[in-house]
Amino acid sequence: MAKGLTCISRLQIERIKFKPVLPDILKKGASFIKPVKGKVTKSIKDQDNLKEIFKNTYGLPEITFKRGINEIVARKAVKVAVVLSGGQAPGGHNVIAGLFDGLKKANEENILIGYLGGPSGILKNKYKVISEKMLCSYRNTGGFDFIQSGRTKIETPEQFCLTKNNLLASKVDALVVVGGDDSNTNAAMIAEYMRKESLSKCIVGVPKTIDGDLKNKHIETSFGFDTATKIYSDLVGNICRDVNSSQKYWHFVRLMGRSASHIALEVGFKTQPNIVLIGEEILANKMTLAEVVENIVNVVIKRAEDGKNFGVILVPEGLIEFIYNMRDLISSLDDILVKNIKIIAEFHSIEEKKMFVYGKLSRKHSDLMESLPVGIVSQLMLDRDPHGNVQVSLIETEKLLVEMVQSRLVELKEMNKYKGKFSAITHFFGYEGRCGMPSNFDANYTYALGYNAAVLVLNGLTGYLSSVKNLVNLPKYWECGGIPLTMMMNIERRHGRNKPVIQKALVDLNGKPFKKFVKNREKWAISESYISPGPVQYFGPSEVTNITTKTLQYEHSNKINR
């Protein structure tokens, strides 16, 4: 038994024994796979600007794989590094396992190292050489604790130079970056820099984020989304069961999803609560905070008229950035906080910071700030994360909504327009889902993504994102290849400047999943259609162990062929 196994549960021990199923194209290894170049690509937007920024890596062709003898991959041993970047997601260890096995299958002399603590490990040149003995107790487990993660961004000329020097000093031939849209944007920048410096270092990305906002027709889902939404659905399903038992509380549940509402929508499908707020719809309809509150109030009143003073509401974590007038306010705050960062750093209290910021805001925005609860105002002015994003996980939107709904109901009660009772309980389910033991789907998917990345690396295909698709079918039928990182990019304003970034995939209001939701939400609002799906299932009939997300099923129903 490997070292450390005595400290884990029996379930974990059994999960370590799980053997992920590889797509048929990958089973024989990289020596029997030939990359096929497809059409030249272009970015989704801002083509001229991005072509100028990525002079050496823009316009790469799509890559698919076909069977065939590939002598290149076994000619000489290579040293590959892997780094986990950004927040954790279930299945990260299996990416490393797939990458390790793919490299060793091609050539036993290939070496895999793991940078420690995320991208900062690259800059500090801190890593460990990965062996099967070290890796075996981490297979099919949750978390990123094998080599840890971090949010350091490599973006300055000095950091790029240090990255280059450390890769050269460690004799690393390739770097695999496991991360979300920001981390893979970083990977694209590093790939471009290496090409500009005439270095044959191969940089490959792997799509990771439980938020589900790194996807397109080639990246059908990011890893971790399946497991995380199953974990959240278990928790929300328990609340639905509880609320239908006691029938006296309104539960406001905030779910992770910084920039998109995919998690809220998926958990909504799995549990069928009374209200699911979709940020993208709220933004499209240019709804103000008052209008969002009024919509919730209307459902509360309608249910109270039937004697139902209870319910469940799902709130996406990033909702506040989708509300029309709040989005405008946050944009103004971002500019003020960035432009005056040195002045603000000298303030000793939040009150001093507030007074300074209020003085810089327009009358419209300062009035809106004044109308918000004090705690929310303080949270809105917290420092931005390293990528320039508002730290929405620290903004208690669910409590803001409860307070405003409560105030509105008091007004209506005084006007004799509401006679019910309103008691609310708030929850935030975020970190609970990030390090869960991966579902069978995520265990298979992440292993395939890592193995697929090994094939890309061994063929020197730099500037690509590992792509495994056709995911609604059995793993043996999954299709593998690579998609250029620049293909998914556009220009966005960050930290007061225009920057190239991989565009986030938001909930498509014309897509099949959202239309399915719209068809059902009125019924969910007034009835108790609650579902309690239970915990993630690892053993048993395939109908419960291998199911994909509802989102994938609705999006790709025409591809299902088992």
DSSP assignment of 32-81 equals GEEEEEEEE---SS-HHHHHHHTTTTTTPEEEEEEE----GGGSS--EEE
- Per residue, what are the HEC states of 337-388? HHHCHHHHHCCCCHHHHHHHHHHHCCHHHHHHHHHCCHHHHHHHCCCCCCCC
Contact, 458 vs 432, CB < 8 A?
Answer: no
Q: How far apart are CA 448 and CA 431, in angstroms?
A: 25
Among the options 101, 211, 234, 442, which is catalytic? 211
311 beta partners: 250
Establish whether 383 is a catalytic residue.
no
In degrees and rounded to multiples of 5, residue 132 shows phi and psi of -65, -35
DSSP assignment of 110-174 equals -EEEEETTTHHHHHHT-EEE--HHHHGGGTT--SSTTT-EE-----SHHHHHHHHHHHHHTT--E
In degrees and rounded to multiples of 5, residue 141 shows phi and psi of -105, 160
Q: Taking the chain, what is the end-to-end CA distance rounded to the nearest angstrom?
A: 37
CA atoms within 13 A on the CB side of 315: 30
Q: How far apart are CA 54 and CA 192, in angstroms?
A: 6
Query: Which tokens go with 195?
Result: 């090409």
Instruction: Select from 88, 253, 504 the least CA-distant residue to 264.
Output: 253
Q: Report which secondary-structure segment, H or E, holds 494.
A: strand 489-494
Which are the catalytic amino acids? 211
